Every structure is written in C-alpha cells, then in structure tokens.
Structure 1
Amino acid sequence: MPGQQDIQIDQVERLLQAAGADWDRRAHRFAVLAEAAAPSALARSWRMRRSRSADPLVFEAWVELCRGRHTGRMEDAGAAVDRCRRAADALGGDPTPWVVMLGILRLMRADSRELFPVWYEVTARDPWNREAHLQMLRYLSPEECGSRSSQLDFVETVRSSAPSTAPVVGVELTALVDEDVRIVARGGVEALLARRQWAGSRATRALDTALHWSRPGHLRHAAALADLNLLAFALVRAGRVRETADTFRVLGDTVTAWPWTLDGDPLDQFGHWQSRALI
C-alpha cells in the first residue's frame, strides 16, 4: 500500500511522544513496538527520515536487540550501542537508551564491569524500571553471567526496597518461575519434584504478597496485565487454582505468551485454567 510506512512511522512517533516523561509507559511502548517492527525495515526507515532525532536511534537499537534475542546474536552490537549513546546524550534524563544498552550488553554476555555502570545510569533516572530489572535478573542467573546466590541477593534487594505498586513487583515471581524451569531442565528425580518449590516458605510468601495485585486499580504500571498473567500462572503451578479467580476476572481475555507458553499453547493454557478457576 503506497505510503503505508509513512503512516506507520507517524503512528509510532505519536505513541512514543504521548508517553512524555512517564518512563515506565515509554519503555513499555518501545518494547512492544520494537518487537512488532523487528521483521520489517520500519526502524531503519524512520532513522533515515529523522536523522537528527533521538527516538529513531533508540528504536532501531531496540529492534536490533529483539532480532538478536531471536537469533542469539546481533549483527552489529557495537553500532547499536553507539546509537544508544548518541540518543542518551540527546535525551538527558530519559533512561530508555540506557535500558536498551543494558539489554544489548546482557545479550553479549558482557563483563559486569562494563554492564553495571549502565545499570547505574538507568536506576539513577528511573529507580524501578521494570525492563532493566528483568534484564539484570536474567543476567545474574547461573545460565548467564551470575549464580543462583547472586540472583537471590538481587531479588531480595528488590523485594525489601521496592514500593508495593512499583513496576518491578513481578521480579520475585519471575525468579521463581525461572527456577522452576531450571529444575525441570535438569531432568531426573529432581525434575519430578520441581513443584515442591512452590510449597516452600519463599514461594508461599511471594504468592501471598502478590494476591492483592488483583484489587482493581492496585497495579497501574504499563505492564500490569503481564504481571497478573504471571501471578495466575504461578498460582496454578503452586496448586492454588481456586485463588486465581480474582486475577482471571481482572485479566478477562488478555493473555501474554510468557509464561503460559512454558506449558504449551498460551491461549489453550490460559483458557483451561481460567475456566477451572471461574467454575
């Protein structure tokens, strides 16, 4: 369709500009739009048409990061980092370029001496940035550049210091789901007993604390429905299906691929457990 890309670029610009200095909503929009644009040339076209604007630089770097996550490597990570640094110089207090840079360094398995200064730049601008905290959680995992103890220390720091309605409230449950996946991947008898972790004191406390997320209007961050999907999934894994009813009512028909995809087709899994919970 002639002019379709121009229309798409205008729409992306408006959505990002409308978020203003709401860094949480701005990062969420960047993440969703970049994932959607990854198969196309939209990001490059936008940068070529707005060569003096910072947002297209960040957007193209985030699109390249999305592609890198899918393939396991980035074609030119150095160029993407350079775009982030140029955007960061232009945008000042905006944490978004630093968030993308953090993701790129994580994908590159960069040394902590290179990654942590970027982490500090993000949190100096937005202390409870959801995307950055999830990036750090996975970076500190034993599968990547950390260990189980370093990951647990990070989770405990977030749990003990973050406000109860901060965008990072899902970090602890994310870590528990990741731990479940880690145990199952080992196979053997240990995998058969993986569900026992959900009966432990750490998981029980995290789930009990998270139950109030379902109160209408309690969570207001941009990815609140993603965290409610996470809560429903974790409660199912813990065998607490009856307690998911309020969460499923709030969610309605909003399904996120992760973490439901861990057990099969997300729509099938969500629909099955929602119907069980709301009987």
Structure 2
Amino acid sequence: MVRTMSLLRALLRTVRLVRHTPRLADGLPPDEAILLDAPDSRIGPALVAAAHGEYEPAAKLLATTREAAEWEHRDRYVMRLAVFAYSRGDWLASWLADAPRDPDALIVKTELAIRRAWESPARAERLREIGPLIDAAAEAAPGDPVPWRIALDHARGTHAVHTAFETLWEQAVRRSPHHYGCHVAALRYLSAQWYGSHRECFDFAERAAADAPPGSLMPALPARAAFARMEAEDTFPVRPGSVRPLEEERTDAAADRAIALSAGYPAGDPWPAEVRNLTAYVLVRQGRWTDALEQFRLIGSYATSFPWNRFSDDPLGRFLDAREGVRLRLAAMAPPRARTGRSWLAGH
C-alpha cells in the first residue's frame, strides 16, 4: 500500500510538471537569448572601439559622466572598462601614454590595478602598493566619489581599522551622499565576513535605504545585506533552525523593498538588472518561488555575473539553473488541472 501511494504521488508530480512547466515559461526569454553582463547603449560602442585598440570613445564617455556628475553611470562604466582592460589593455596603455594625467584614464587604471591586486596571492601587499595610485586618481578629480569607492574596497583588503574606514567614508559621502557604489563597498566592509556583523550590516543598509532619494538604487542595499548573510552561511554552514527569526524577518523585508524598487522600472531594463538578479537570488533562497519567477520575468535577457559568480565559475549556467528550478518548484505545487497563469500565481 505504501509503495502504491508513493508511486501515485510520483505520477501526480510528473503530471503537474509536464502540464505546468511550459506554461510557467510565459514571459521568460529562452535560454539561448540570455546575455551575461550585456552592455547598455552608451558603454557598448566604447567597448567595441576598445576591442579595436581605440580609446577615444571611452575617454569621451567618462568625460561626459564626470562633467555631468553622473556618478552612478561613471562608476559602472569604469568597472566595465577595467574588466575589459584586464585581458585587452592595449587601448588603455595608449590612452595613458597620450594623456598620463587624464582623470578618466587614471580612474580606469586604478580600478584595473585593484582588481588585479585582489586576485593576487599576495593581496594585502599588492593592495598597499597601489595606495598612491588611488590618491592620484582622487586628486585628479576632486569631486568624483568613484576613487573613494575604490579606496573603500582598498581599505577592506588592507585590513584598515574602523577609524581609517570612517575617514574614507566621510570623504565619499561628502562627494555624493547617496552614491550606491560607495554604500555597497562600505556594506561589504561592515559584513560579518570582514570587519562587522550581520546586525551592523543590516543596520547600515536599512538606514541608507530609508534615506534614499527618488530614483536611487539604495533601497536594494538591505537585499545586499541579506545576501552577505547568506554568503556567510554558505562559507560557514549553520545548523537548520539556527538562523535568528529577526534575521529572517529582516531578510524578507529586504526582499520586499527590492521587489518594490524593481517594480518601478520597465521589464528588460538593463539599469536595474543587477539589482533584479540579486533580488531573484534572495527570493530563491527564501523559497519565495512566485516572487522569484516574477523577477526572472522582469530581468528578461539581462543576466548579471553578480550574484551568481559568488557560488559558481559559470554564473550564466547558475542563473539558468535557478530560473528553471523556480519553474519546476511552482509546477510541482500546482494541482494537475490548475491554470498556471498570473491569476493562479498571484495566490501562491
């Protein structure tokens, strides 16, 4: 009898999966259409030119962001250009040879240097060596917060004490009080993996999110704090049920805040793509399958390396596995004859 019931349950599960999994793909691009870290329309031409050894489009783009104080865009573009220069740096070398004191060339050079130093076995020593380079980038563009975001990352890697960190933080917020990148760098320093705690990390993120101006990505900071907690749990596994209820409540509240932020942007918008990928990850870890599926729909084709690269050398594969896993979970939950459209999902 027990065996018969087990076979029946397995059969019903198979029926649900076959019936509902295809329906739950509604609004999701096929796997082959997903792009990892796809560039937006502004940085794309600069990357294409850099691939041909030409730095002028990148120089023009970064100069525009600096002169217009587009600090969030500038920070993203600096990181994208540094990632490209990691393996294809001839265009950056030409730029620095032609304009060694150009603040835009210097900031890309600095970001590239710190990325290389972080991957070195002698990380702390390498990071200390590039301190003067960070100072030079900050002096070349006194109002730019991006060198101070780099300085905060540098402080984390060189084991800077809290007082030194706070001094850098004051300089960063003086230039841009709500700069998302600087807040992310500070949050990582304050995480339990580095020099703070889960509580300190959440407190910082929630205060910053509460003070966020309209149009800011800062409401996603508590989700970053939740992710830091999850990352720590993966590094140092905890016993089932040992996570404090307050931390679970804060994680769900962080996810709700990130969902609200995501809802303010059109589906398939590249600007909030990383925030949406982070939100989807947190929701998957919390077992909030319906909310996670909606984030995957809003993501569209714009998968991002973070957060999936923190747990796999194949972030795109991890993204696709998570997306498919959510569909399978929801399909398995649906009654065999249920219609798994938006109305059914709204109740689950």
Superposition TM-score, scaled by structure 1 size: 0.84
Please say if residues 174 and 230 of structure 1, whose CA atoms lie closer than 8 Å, have aligned partners that are also in contact. Answer: yes
Please say if residues 258 and 275 of structure 2, whose CA atoms lie closer than 8 Å, have aligned partners that are also in contact. Answer: no
Find 1:201's aligned residue among 229, 249, 261.
249
Find 2:168's aligned residue among 114, 118, 129.
118
Q: Does 1:13 align with 2:63?
A: no
Question: In the alignment, what sits opposite 1:133?
Answer: 183
Q: Does 1:85 align with 2:135?
A: yes
Structure 1 Cα separation of the partners of residues 163 and 240 of structure 2: 38
Question: In the alignment, what sits opposite 2:323?
Answer: 274
Tell me which moved more, 92-101 or 25-34. 92-101
| Structure 1 residues 195 and 270: alpha-carbon distance in aligned structure 2, compared to 1, 3 A threshold | farther
Question: In the alignment, what sits opposite 1:68?
Answer: 117
- Structure 1 residues without counterparts, runs of 5 or longer: none
Question: In the alignment, what sits opposite 1:213?
Answer: 261
Structure 2 Cα separation of the partners of residues 87 and 274 of structure 1: 40
Tell me which amino acid in the other structure corresponds to 1:254.
Y
Find 2:209's aligned residue among 156, 159, 164.
159
Please say if residues 189 and 195 of structure 2, whose CA atoms lie closer than 8 Å, have aligned partners that are also in contact. Answer: yes
Find 1:27's aligned residue among 54, 75, 84.
75
Structure 2 Cα separation of the partners of residues 45 and 75 of structure 1: 28
Structure 2 Cα separation of the partners of residues 225 and 210 of structure 1: 12
Q: CA deviation at 1:4?
A: 7.0
| Structure 1 residues 214 and 159: alpha-carbon distance in aligned structure 2, compared to 1, 3 A threshold | closer
Structure 2 Cα separation of the partners of residues 247 and 57 of structure 1: 37
Tell me which moved more, 149-158 or 239-248. 149-158
CA RMSD of aligned residues (A): 3.1
| Structure 1 residues 33 and 74: alpha-carbon distance in aligned structure 2, compared to 1, 3 A threshold | farther
Q: CA deviation at 1:198?
A: 9.9
Q: Does 1:54 align with 2:54?
A: no
- Structure 2 residues without counterparts, runs of 5 or longer: 1-48, 331-339, 341-348
Tell me which amino acid in the other structure corresponds to 2:323.
Q
Q: How many residues get paired?
A: 274
Which has the larger Rg? 2
Q: Cα deviation per residue 1:195-214 (whole Å; 9 max; x = unaligned)?
A: 88699321222222222233
Q: Cα deviation per residue 1:221-253 (whole Å; 9 max; x = unaligned)?
A: 985110000111111111111122332222112
Question: In the alignment, what sits opposite 2:345?
Answer: none
Tell me which amino acid in the other structure corresponds to 1:53.
D
Question: In the alignment, what sits opposite 2:278?
Answer: 230
Structure 2 Cα separation of the partners of residues 16 and 9 of structure 1: 11
Structure 1 Cα separation of the partners of residues 50 and 126 of structure 2: 28
Q: CA deviation at 1:135?
A: 1.1
Q: CA deviation at 1:216?
A: 5.1
Between 1 and 2, higher relative CO (CA 8 Å, sep ≥ 6) is seen in: 2
Superposition TM-score, scaled by structure 2 size: 0.69
Tell me which amino acid in the other structure corresponds to 2:285.
R
Question: In the alignment, what sits opposite 2:223?
Answer: 173
